[in-house]
């Protein structure tokens, strides 16, 4: 697939994925959503070696300012349902991706942009970043998982306030609420995400994938997360990496994980 709205750069097994719609503050139009679907569903899973993905927005003003409002004019109830369902499916591909995906939030992360950042496993924000779910200002609600993930991250009290008022919060407040992992100087978001990913890249790849799977189970309706953990633990103890990790510990050397 040729991507019109995504730029992909690879360095040392880490992919930097940049949403390239700077003039529209990287708003997610349908074409970009289809491209993200293809990237996370078809393209990235087959890439090897791939230790992780950093997702950011072009320019220094916005990560993503939401779904593309200019495509909203023809929406009716049925088209709205289809749009939300598709958006949620695309963001599940990110949340369930087996390698860590870090959002480098380089400015506004609003509406679908905040939802996109929340679907990533970890978030690094620039000091100038702003987060919010302003959909109520448009007379709609978040449709790409925002009502669910925001509450899970910040709790019902603050989450409901943000969803009902549409207010934006700054990066420090997002950090205080547990929405982001770290706040860095503007322009340093990708570098900080790379440092974090490099640290994770030294760990056992199967273990990393299984941590993501087990943590996702916390929020899956009808899933017993403790049982999922038992299965995931068993899967990791059956790997060559586990033997290597234990042997390296005993020999007091660095493990050389193969992802098997
Ligand atoms: N969709 C389409 N275009 C957008 C956009 C969006 N979500 N956000 C910004 N843009 C465009 C603007 O229309 C403008 O384009 P033009 O130059 O062609 O007019 C350009 O980006 C720059 O934006 P502004 O002039 O508005 O910049 P600003 O500095 O004055 O304000 C802002 C920045 C506060 C982020 C403001 O642009 C804004 O409020 N954007 C909309 C945010 C929003 O409501 N997002 C939620 C969308 S709904 C959603 O996401 C639903 C869902 O859950 C799936």
For 180-186, what is the mean pLDDT?
Answer: 98
For 36-57, what is the mean pLDDT?
Answer: 96
pLDDT at 221: 85
Phi, psi of 129 (to 5 degrees): -65, 150
Choose among 131, 133, 90: nearest CA to 111: 133
- Residue 221 has which token pair? 């309706």
- Residue 36 has which token pair? 């993200």
For ligand 1, whether the C-beta of 132 sits within 6 Å is no
Task: With 0.75 as the threshold, say if the pTM is over it.
Answer: yes
pLDDT at 248: 96
Let me know the angle formed at the C-alpha of 88 by 108 and 151, rounded to the nearest 5 degrees: 65
Closest atom, ligand 1, to C-alpha of 112: 50
CB atoms within 10 A of CB 198: 14
For ligand 1, whether the C-beta of 24 sits within 6 Å is yes
Mutate to test the pocket of ligand 1, among 23, 68, 69 (most ligand atoms within 8 A of CB): 69
Choose among 5, 44, 29: nearest CA to 86: 29
Nearest CA to ligand 1 atom 42: 65
Gap between the Cα atoms of 9 and 29, Å rounded? 22
For the stretch 210-245, pLDDT in tens is 999 999 999 888 999 999 999 999 999 999 999 999
| pLDDT exceeds cutoff 90 at 41 | yes
pLDDT at 100: 98
Nearest CA to ligand 1 atom 27: 25
């Amino acid at each position: 697939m040729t991507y019109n709205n995504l730029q992909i750069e690879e360095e040392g097994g880490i992919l930097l994925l940049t949403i390239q719609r700077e003039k529209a503050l990287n708003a997610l139009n349908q074409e970009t959503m289809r491209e993200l679907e293809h990237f996370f569903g078809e393209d990235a899973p087959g890439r090897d070696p791939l230790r992780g993905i950093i997702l950011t927005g072009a320019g220094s003003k916005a990560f993503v300012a939401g779904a593309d409002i200019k495509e909203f004019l023809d929406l009716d109830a049925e088209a709205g349902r289809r749009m939300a369902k598709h958006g949620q499916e695309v963001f599940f591909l990110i949340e369930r991706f087996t390698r860590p995906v870090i959002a480098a939030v380089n400015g506004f992360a609003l509406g679908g942009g905040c939802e996109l950042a929340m679907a990533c496993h970890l978030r690094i924000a620039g000091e100038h970043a702003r987060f919010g779910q302003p959909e109520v200002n448009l007379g709609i609600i978040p449709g790409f998982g925002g009502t669910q993930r925001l509450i899970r991250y910040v709790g019902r009290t603050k989450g409901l306030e943000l969803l009902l008022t549409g207010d934006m919060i700054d990066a420090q407040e997002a950090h205080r609420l547990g929405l982001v992992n770290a706040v860095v100087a503007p322009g340093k978001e990708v570098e900080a995400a790379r440092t974090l990913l490099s640290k994770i890249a030294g760990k056992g790849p199967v273990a990393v994938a299984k941590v993501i799977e087990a943590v996702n189970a916390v929020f899956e309706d009808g899933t017993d997360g403790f049982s999922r953990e038992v299965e995931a633990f068993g899967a990791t103890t059956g790997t060559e990496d586990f033997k290597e990790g234990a042997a390296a510990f005993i020999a007091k050397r660095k493990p050389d994980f193969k992802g098997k």
